[in-house]
A and B are shown apart, each in its own frame.
Chain A
Amino acid sequence: MTPALVLLVLRILGAVLLYAFMGVLAYFLWRDYRAAVAPRASAPSASLIVLEGASIGMVYPLREVNLVGRAADSTLRIKDKTISAHHARLSFHAGQWWLEDLGSRNGSRVNEVHVSEPMVVTYGDRIALGEMLFRFQSGQGSTPNSDAGV
């Protein structure tokens, strides 16, 4: 076995290992990506329906994390002048839905209670963001619930 042949084997091994590292890394990332886009059993489907404001009856389906605001990077974009660019965050974690005000100008309220720190919301709660009023409901139904609170 000449030294050059041993070296050749080592070179091939080195190249394979280097690209194995990259490949395994890519595989992990792909797995993470798949896990991220796959629907999560833990996040129940929910939506917001507009009760008062510009577009009454409109239904906004919710994701696991929803950034509500007027800005373009909001996940739930509502163009209303009483709603701040980054108004509030409505997210599901630890088995519950939470509403958190992001320092909005006109504030957020849940059942007329001002939101100053993250607050748990349950289905049927009335959520007011600026001068818009929503009802938080289960399901992503596109038709307004006939029992819409009055």
Chain B
Amino acid sequence: MRPGESVQSWLTGALGEARPDNDRREARLLGLAFAFLIATGLSIAIAPAARSGVWSDSLTRWQHLAALPIWAACAWLVRRVLRRKRPQRDPFLLPCALLLTGWGLLVIWRLSPAFGARQAGWLLVACVALVELLRAPHDLRWLRRYRYLWLLAGIILVVLTLGFGTNPSGGEPRLWLGCCGLYFQPSEPLRLLLIAYMASYLADRTVLQQEKSLAGLLPLLAPLLLVWALSVALLGVQHDLGTGTLFLMLLAVLLYIASDRWEVLAFAGLAAILGSILGFSAFDVVRLRILAWLDPWADPTGGSYQIVQSLIAIASGGIFGQGAGLGSPGFVPIAHSDFIFASVAEEWGLAGSLAMIGLGVFLTTRGLRVALRCRDRYGAMLAAGLSVAFGLQSFLIIGGVTRMLPLTGVTLPFVSYGGSSLVTSFLGLGFLLVLSGEEGAGRTITRPLTNVQAALTALGIGLALVVGWWSLYRAPVLTARTDNPRRSLAERFARRGAILDRQGAPLAFSQGERGSYTRVYTAPAASLVTGYDSPRYGQTGIESSMDGILRGEQGRDPLIALWQQLSTGAPVEGLDVRLALDLSRQRAAAEALGDKVGAVVIMEARSGALLALASSPSFDPNVLDEDWPTLVTRTDAPLLNRATQARYQPGLALAPFVAAWAEKLALVDPQTTFDNMTRPVNVDGHPLECAGVVETGSNPTLGAALRAGCPSPIVDLGLILGGPALSEMISAFGFDETSPIRLESPLSTSGATPATTSEIRLSAVGQGTLLVSPLQMARAFGALLNDGLLPAPHLVEAFRRPDGEWESVPAIDVPVRVLESAVNRSLVGAMTSRGSDLIRVSAWSLSGPGEERIAWYLVGRLSDSPVRVVVVALEGGTPGEAEQVGLSLLR
């Protein structure tokens, strides 16, 4: 801007002139585009340094900046010719097309320098071709006169690929011609030649508009359909889905424009539906594409790998993107070509992809405007064909990448990598520039063109909405997917928080340097609590439930976190999490369990702090990748945390709670005596006997029965209580709910209210439909040692704020009173042996249809401070073994 020039006159390029100077407008836009490309190029240059946080020569790349002078030289050259040869051209077409080209070139170069350099070479070729076209005779008569020659040439080229076709990257499909590192795809120029042919054919047949019946149209269209069928057949043999689809749509739209009859579109739509049904049953490639489109989540590692990765890339872009050079678009296959839009969406976000869609829509409608203003029908048809081809092709591939449409392999014009595509796009642009340069406000075709303009704009808006859907609404779900490789990549650059025990001893932490952090698990005894954080197998345990804190996404001021991320370039550091777990007790519990299959829960009765949650067998998260195949096939399920997730029959471990409920309802007292206290109870044909030793010389009181674990009095109590009261007890002690402790837990089953006498008998001795986890049992037993208050168990105690202070994480539940103090005291007194301060429950339960037994041992010492409960459940063990484990852990 020169001094003294106002912003408005700079923008309009009008210095004291009433008529806007289109030439200067074009220059302004090109200048802005160049400035954008410079900023983008520099961003990409320093992005690796920004990611690592230090300036270093090895962390900057400058090679791709060569694209900028090449781009500028092309822009200068084309403009020079345009100013001389086509002074009346549309001033907006060139800047928009060149902006897209330069943007694409930088993205390609950033993804792969080799492809970028080649694409820059192609840009020069395309520019020379464009310049030659602009210097050709003004009126395009030459193009019209030799139409059959052009078409024949195009078809011959495609036929040649049948015999001599290759694929530069090897394999199928063989759609390229050439050798020695220089290849081109004949279907690209064929598209251009076909448009030129169709335009001239349709322009000569104005009678189309007058023809009343659709049948009357057919003879006129026959040669056209024939040619089209031939080209599609050639592509069908080559399995190039995209070009065939594009030709069909293009032909339909051009016929509609020429005839102004909507029936043509309806007919084409019908043909498309029939074609896709036929293709679905006949061609594997069509079937796979359509299936991957309908349900990509079914096979995210196979047939729909590309589309799922593409959607994840778009989602990880968010609104403003990861930043040029900071994303990881390379995770999407062929990101530089067909999937380049996903790369743009990831690094420039919704803002960038909307701009790109906007540019595409603008170029399309502007090209159609050229068609509207053309003086003759041929020019109008040609301009319309070129614009519609550009618009449809962009729509097909962006729609495919965003799962709006099934994926068809076409390039994104101007942007994608591909020499033939770029040269063809530039030639198309050249024809539009030539046609727009013809003076005239003629309107040979109006209504169909404005309709097509509106329709293509609507498609663009649809695309924008779909991109918004993935990058905003679905983004949280998509980016959290375990097959999002950016997650583990981010963890290599930002230290994940450690998981500590109650004394601060580490259970899991990340070590290494920025860029190569790895996760170490120091306590295999606690592996079922910490869980694992695997790039391949996802997350479990605390790693999963506290992921937000461990990643540092939660627990800090989001604005400060955002600023840190923007200014240091790295994802925020994770925050440490401290558990209630006591590592020494956890280790002791794991050792006590040894080879036995079962679980141990140690909990503070008052606070609900979970000191140990041991489960056996277990696994070592440090070697998860090696062990995984065996871990998932073993029948003893080492990945299952039995302490929280197992569902065992409670058996007679339920006895104290049945007794407590009967006492609470004043139906019995501890001194109530029972006849035949030691009589066995029959459960499905198996006799259930007293689990412990019956004290000699004592009365057969309720207390004695509880101490000895005898089933018969409990059955009697159950019958006195009845079904509804038993159900009430079960829910009062929390057996029908899972205690939320920020760790995976199963859905609980409290079962139906027992109705018949036999159901009540079974329920009372814990052999009904109720299944409980050791954790649930520990919580209920904790109530007896906590003055009748049901404790609120918690595993996570606190996390370390960014300022280093610990912030406590409250338990999710709150303590609930289930028994009056007096009732509880009386019951506990009855359960305590004379001269002992231990309160214990020893029981056996029958589990499953076979002979399998679960041994339960519940114990707590009233004189401890704080009082702790230990719950042991052993699969296939004896009450004696369980007692041994339990007592050893009570210390």
Contact = CB atoms under 8 A, between A and B. Distances in A.
Interface size class of B (residues with CB under 8 A): 35 or more
B25 A14 contact: no
Contacts of B370: none
B569 A3 contact: yes
Contacts of A19: 351, 355
A14 B32 contact: no
A78 to B, nearest CB: 17
Interface size class of A (residues with CB under 8 A): 20 to 34
B34 to A, nearest CB: 9
Contact of A7 (B11, B28, B96, B323): B323
Residue in A8, A18, A32 with the greatest tally of chain B CB atoms within 10 Å: A18
Given A2-B53, A4-B568, A14-B40, A73 B446 contact: yes
A142 to B, nearest CB: 27
A10 interface: yes
A24 interface: yes
Contacts of B359: 22
B50 A3 contact: yes
B195 to A, nearest CB: 24
Contacts of B537: none
A7 B36 contact: no
Contact of A25 (B29, B320, B348, B441): B29
A15 interface: yes
A17 B46 contact: no
Contact of A3 (B20, B28, B53, B320): B53
Contact of A8 (B32, B362, B566): B566
B396 interface: no
A123 interface: no
B441 A15 contact: no
Contacts of B326: 7
B701 interface: no
Nearest to A6: B46
Interface in B201-256: 209-210
A25 to B, nearest CB: 6
B92 interface: yes
A35 interface: yes
A14 B36 contact: yes
Contacts of B96: 25
Contact of B567 (A5, A24, A29, A64): A5
B25 A28 contact: yes
Interface in B41-62: 42-43, 46-47, 49-50, 53-55, 59
A21 B36 contact: yes
Contact of A67 (B46, B352, B443): B443
A17 B569 contact: no
Contacts of A13: 39
Given A3-B54, A21-B99, A24-B11, A10 B32 contact: no
B35 interface: yes
B22 to A, nearest CB: 9
B25 A17 contact: no
B834 to A, nearest CB: 72
A56 interface: no
A20 B324 contact: no
Contacts of B324: 10-11, 14
Nearest to A7: B50
B487 interface: no
B447 interface: yes
A18 B36 contact: yes
B838 interface: no
Interface string B79-96: 000000000000110011
B793 to A, nearest CB: 43
B32 A17 contact: yes
A25 B100 CA distance: 14
A102 to B, nearest CB: 9
A14 B36 CA distance: 5
A4 B92 contact: no
B49 A3 contact: yes
Interface string A34-45: 010000000000
B36 A72 contact: no
B358 interface: yes
A31 B447 CA distance: 24
A10 B446 contact: no
Given A22-B358, A28-B25, A7 B569 contact: yes
B567 A2 contact: yes
Interface of A: 2-8, 10-11, 13-15, 17-22, 24-25, 27-29, 31-32, 35, 64-65, 67, 72-73, 85, 91
22 contacts: A2-B569, A3-B46, A3-B50, A3-B569, A5-B567, A7-B46, A7-B326, A10-B43, A11-B323, A14-B36, A18-B36, A19-B355, A20-B32, A22-B358, A22-B359, A25-B95, A25-B362, A28-B20, A28-B25, A31-B12, A73-B447, A91-B441
Given A3-B59, A4-B53, A21-B32, 20 more contacts: A2-B50, A2-B567, A4-B570, A6-B46, A7-B47, A8-B567, A10-B42, A10-B46, A11-B320, A14-B324, A15-B351, A17-B35, A17-B36, A19-B355, A25-B95, A28-B12, A28-B25, A28-B91, A72-B447, A73-B446
Q: Which 4 A-B pairs have the closest CB atoms?
A: A4-B569, A17-B36, A14-B39, A3-B49
